């Protein structure tokens, strides 16, 4: 594996091949019932481990990668986009979030151990039900509450692992030719009604029109009311604090496996930090789409990978010298304020079957206590559908 297989672009993690992953703060769902997709409440700030080599634990320096701050029992989802078709593996404590199998350097189809980009616009949790997932929720290692602890019986890794695979050269060349032909066809007809199909159809590009995709999937989202993945203004009754984000890094930075870095004033080399991993919270309606490409289309080796460390706010403050983001949003106040929740539907895609090893993972409330925060279901008008192809137009007398 090459040293530099990923880089930071602001708070986006960019893997080789143009795969972009953003880590989005969100409302933590109740652990009972099945819910709509919660909103995006801004990006988690991300920093390179190598830039703070004198203040992170030695183990983190060996693993390299990046780090982001999370409160205990805070929820997040991952937002995806890609310049070209890609297969992305997502690990939680080196357990595959899609298949429940141990982390692997190879793609697998039985069960599928990856998501297909750009068709899969996001992933909010582990594949634990038919058309549903259980939400990613942070929890300290050592309790046995993480997905890693419940599946493997031990907690060694924590964090999040990402690994991307591109198309093999011939399949990539064919895809690019199809894109070029589609572009010429669109130009020939003046762009009137000529668009690529959404991903999934035989021979389709996998990209479709930006207008067909949710706001956060496109590289430059159009102006719109707050949508799934669009940060909300850092004020109002849904917030327990008005400060929403820490200082953001600008520019693009490669992420080496290890490199010397500057530590904040007064830090001590190799300081012990609390290790964090991902457990699960409530259930939401979300599909993980089945890959319809033949396995031979995918490269046999990964083009990029990165380890994402999860840091408690006190450790984030010590390691980076920055203030962590404000405490998570109050979900009851968010819903009471009439702000949106979401549903996503892709009629052309097939959902993966749940896997038994992940259906049995218990929510973090069994370790950290019951969730007594009052919950009010959003009204039907608050749940906004995403990914629909539009309602039919009826003819009349004229």
pLDDT, one tens digit per residue, over 307-354 is: 999 999 999 999 999 999 888 766 666 666 566 555 555 545 455 566
The single-letter DSSP state of residue 197 is P
What's the rounded Cα separation, in Å, for the pair 353 and 361? 16
- Could you tell me if residue 99 is left (phi over 0), alpha (psi between -120 and 50 degrees) or otherwise beta? alpha
pLDDT band (50, 70, 90) for residue 20? very high
Is-contact 67 46, C-beta < 8 A? Answer: yes
What's the pLDDT band for 36 if we cut at 50, 70, 90? confident
SS3 328: coil
CA distance 119 to 66: 25
3-state class of 276 per DSSP? Answer: strand
Q: What's the confidence (pLDDT) of residue 239?
A: 32
Q: Note whether 283 and 152 are within 8 A (CB).
A: no
Most confident of 269-283, 287-301, 341-355: 287-301
Check: CB of residue 126 under 8 Å from CB of residue 147. Answer: yes
The four Cα atoms 142, 145, 150, 156 give a dihedral, to 10 degrees, of: -30
In the chain, what percentage of residues exceed pLDDT 90? 44
107 versus 334: the higher-pLDDT residue is 107
CA–CA distance, 216 with 339 (Å, rounded to integer):
17
Asked if 101 and 94 count as a contact pair (C-beta separation under 8 A), the reply is no
> What is d(CA 6, CA 15) in angstroms, rounded to the nearest whole number?
4
Interior angle at CA 93, CA 89 and CA 98, nearest 5: 35
Cα torsion 94, 96, 100, 101: sign: negative
- CA geometry: angle at 386 spanning 85 and 16, to 5°? 20
Distance CA(14)–CA(80), nearest Å, equals 10
In terms of DSSP bridges, do strands 276-285 and 34-35 run parallel, antiparallel, or are they unpaired? parallel
Q: Which two tokens stand for residue 58?
A: 């030695």
pLDDT for residue 105: 92
Query: What is the radius of gyration, based on Cα positions, of the chain?
Result: 21
SS3 state at 306? strand
Tokens of 192: 């009137």
Q: Give 266's contacts (C-beta < 8 A, 6+ positions apart).
A: none
Q: Is the dihedral of CA 97, 345, 88, 50 positive or negative?
A: negative
The proportion of the chain whose per-residue pLDDT surpasses 70, expressed as a percent, equals 61
Residue 260: the pLDDT is 34
| Per-residue confidence band for 375, with pLDDT thresholds at 50, 70 and 90 | low
d(CA 171, CA 157): 35
| Per-residue pLDDT, 367 | 62
Is the pLDDT at 13 greater than 60, yes or no? yes
Mean pLDDT, residues 262-270: 45
């Amino acid at each position: 594996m090459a040293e530099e297989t990923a880089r930071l672009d602001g708070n986006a993690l960019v893997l080789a091949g143009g795969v972009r992953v953003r880590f989005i703060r969100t409302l933590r769902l109740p652990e009972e019932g099945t819910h709509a997709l919660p909103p995006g409440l801004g990006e988690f700030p991300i920093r390179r481990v190598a830039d703070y080599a004198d203040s992170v634990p030695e183990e983190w320096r060996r693993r390299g990668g990046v780090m982001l701050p999370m409160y205990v029992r805070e929820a997040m989802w991952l937002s995806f986009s890609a310049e070209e078709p890609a297969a992305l593996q997502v690990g939680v404590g080196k357990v595959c979030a899609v298949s429940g199998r141990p982390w692997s350097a190879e793609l697998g189809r039985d069960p599928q151990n990856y998501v297909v980009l750009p068709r899969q616009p996001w992933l909010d949790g582990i594949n634990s039900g038919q058309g549903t997932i259980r939400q990613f929720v942070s929890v300290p290692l050592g309790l046995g509450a993480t997905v890693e602890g419940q599946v493997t019986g031990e907690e060694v890794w924590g964090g999040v692992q990402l690994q991307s695979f591109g198309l093999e050269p011939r399949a990539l060349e064919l895809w690019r030719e199809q894109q070029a032909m589609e572009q010429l066809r669109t130009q020939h007809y003046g762009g009137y009604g000529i668009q690529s199909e959404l991903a999934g159809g035989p021979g389709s590009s996998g990209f479709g029109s930006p207008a067909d995709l949710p706001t956060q999937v496109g590289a430059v989202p159009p102006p719109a009311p707050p949508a799934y993945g669009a940060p909300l203004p850092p004020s109002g009754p849904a917030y327990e604090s008005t400060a929403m984000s820490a200082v953001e890094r600008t520019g693009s930075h490669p992420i080496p496996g290890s490199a010397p870095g500057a530590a904040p004033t007064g830090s001590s080399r190799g300081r012990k930090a609390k290790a964090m991993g991902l457990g699960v919270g409530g259930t939401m309606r979300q599909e993980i789409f089945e890959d319809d490409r033949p396995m031979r289309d995918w490269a046999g080796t990964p083009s990029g990978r990165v380890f994402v460390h999860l840091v408690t706010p006190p450790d984030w403050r010590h390691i980076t010298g920055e203030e962590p983001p404000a405490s998570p949003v109050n979900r009851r106040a968010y819903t009471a304020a009439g702000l949106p929740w979401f549903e996503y539907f892709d009629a052309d895609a097939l959902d993966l079957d749940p896997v038994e090893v992940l259906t049995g993972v218990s929510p973090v409330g069994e370790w950290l206590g019951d969730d007594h925060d009052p919950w009010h279901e959003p009204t039907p008008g608050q749940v906004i559908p995403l990914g629909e192809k539009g309602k039919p137009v009826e003819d009349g007398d004229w």
